[in-house]
Chain A
């Protein structure tokens, strides 16, 4: 009963390096989301997906790219990391349009950009 799994849980990058965060869910959810959490700012939506093969921008999409090639996976990429992207990243998933809007979260991925 894994739910939402994020890898890696911790990562340290140098400015300009690239990386990908992987989110996997086993609940057959249509919707998947990437949020970032920073002190005093709550959770801010980066990108989201309403189904396999779709992606859309959230509040703070700049500097990030995403892909949803498989329904169960949602990847968040940083092409050229910047110190401003130091944050804790959370993936979440949600059922279909007509269902209740509860989000299921992963445990987070802490990224530090030096």
Chain B
């Protein structure tokens, strides 16, 4: 069974600082990997996704993530955080031809001035 671990429940960064959110997955074959963002009171919005090819993927709002097969990781990064990035971030894993997507427990990001 596929699973996702987000080890950080809550992260606080200063505005302008860099950000890295961790995600580790467990899955035997090549996974489909996603990062979603959820603003308070809203649904989830896709930030970026990895299916194959270049292991560094670019997403919306200046986010990027790197797929590292050897570490079973798909960490989300942003070079300079803005106050509007405060939200909850979810990593998710799926695979081609498989109906279900499994989500991690989320990381809540707080941005301080």
Q: Using CB atoms and an 8 Å cutoff, list the residues of chain A in contact with chain B.
A: 4, 31, 33, 35, 40-45, 48, 50, 56, 58, 90, 92, 94, 97-98, 100-103, 105-108
Contact = CB atoms under 8 A, between A and B. Distances in A.
Interface residues of B, number: 27
9 nearest A-B residue pairs (beta carbon):
A105-B43, A42-B105, A43-B103, A101-B94, A105-B44, A107-B43, A42-B103, A101-B32, A42-B106
Contacts, number: 63
A103 B90 contact: no
A43 B90 contact: yes
A90 B44 contact: yes
B43 A97 contact: no
Interface of B: 6, 9, 32, 34, 36, 41-46, 49, 51, 90, 92, 94-97, 99-106
A4 B103 CA distance: 19
A42 B104 contact: yes
A1 B10 CA distance: 34
Given A4-B43, A97-B97, 8 more contacts: A40-B9, A42-B103, A42-B104, A48-B99, A48-B100, A56-B99, A100-B32, A101-B94
